[in-house]
Amino acid sequence: MAELQTVDRRSFLKISGLATGVVLSGGAVVAAVIGPRPLGVAAARQGEKVQFAFPEYPDVIIANLNDLVAGEPVFFAYPQAGQKNMLVKLGKSAEEGIGPESDVVAFSTACSHMGAPLDNVYNHEYGILGPCPLHYSTFDLSKSGMNVMGKASDHLPQVALQVDDSGDIRAVGMFGLVYGYPANLFARAKEG
């Protein structure tokens, strides 16, 4: 019968530290290989078409840079009728932002937690969308729609945008899944 070996505290901490380092460095290697957004947003900023693996999103003009006023949202349906989104000029640089100041972004107005409408809860002073009327989820629009408060566990779905030389802003895809849809271009999931 094998004899049980004991590990003293110092050995346990060394082994734990080594294991933690391996896990963390492995995650850094994966992040470095994959990158922050594998769907080519940097290419979109340079005017090239974003290549989505699946499906083929429609290319739709939704506004013009010259018509935008900081803090005044523009609402539009994309990629299907019934999928309401909000385009806004934040007035400060944003991740995935377009335009001369990289401050124009667009997001779904359906909360990623339970799909509650976020149409009337934009706070321009802080650049946030929320709180959600159901569970107070609040999303930072300058940080790719990151949840900063509330029960949502996912970012707010973001519309991939491009701007052309005339200032026309085009919706060309989505990052994230719109609440209630099995895929953004499929029919809405049946409830109950």
Q: Which residues of 159-187 are buried (b: 16+ CB within 10 A; e: fewer)?
A: bbbbbeeeeebbbbbbbbebbebeebbee
Enter the DSSP assignment of 161: E
pLDDT of residue 15: 78
Which residues of the chain are under the pLDDT cut of 50? 29-46, 52, 54
**Rounded CA separation 20/14 (Å):** 10
Sketch out the chain's domains with CATH numbers. Answer: 50-175 (2.102.10.10)
Supply the pLDDT for residue 35.
44
Model pLDDT, residue 37: 47
Q: What is the pLDDT at residue 14?
A: 75
Residues 58, 63: Cα–Cα separation, whole Å: 15
What are the pLDDT digits (tens) for 142-152? 999 999 999 99
Residue tagged 């949502």 (tokens): 152
Picking from 161, 188, 155, the residue whose alpha carbon sits closest to that of residue 82 is 188
Structure tokens of 25?
A: 């460095």
Task: Determine the number of helices (DSSP H) and then strands (DSSP E) in the chain.
Answer: 2, 10
pLDDT in tens, 104-126: 999 999 999 999 999 899 999 99
Q: Do the Cβ atoms of 161 and 170 come closer than 8 Å? A: yes
Instruction: Please state whether 124 falls in left (phi above 0), alpha (psi between -120 and 50) or beta.
Output: alpha
Report which of 109, 114, 110 is spatially closest to residue 87, judged by C-alpha positions: 109
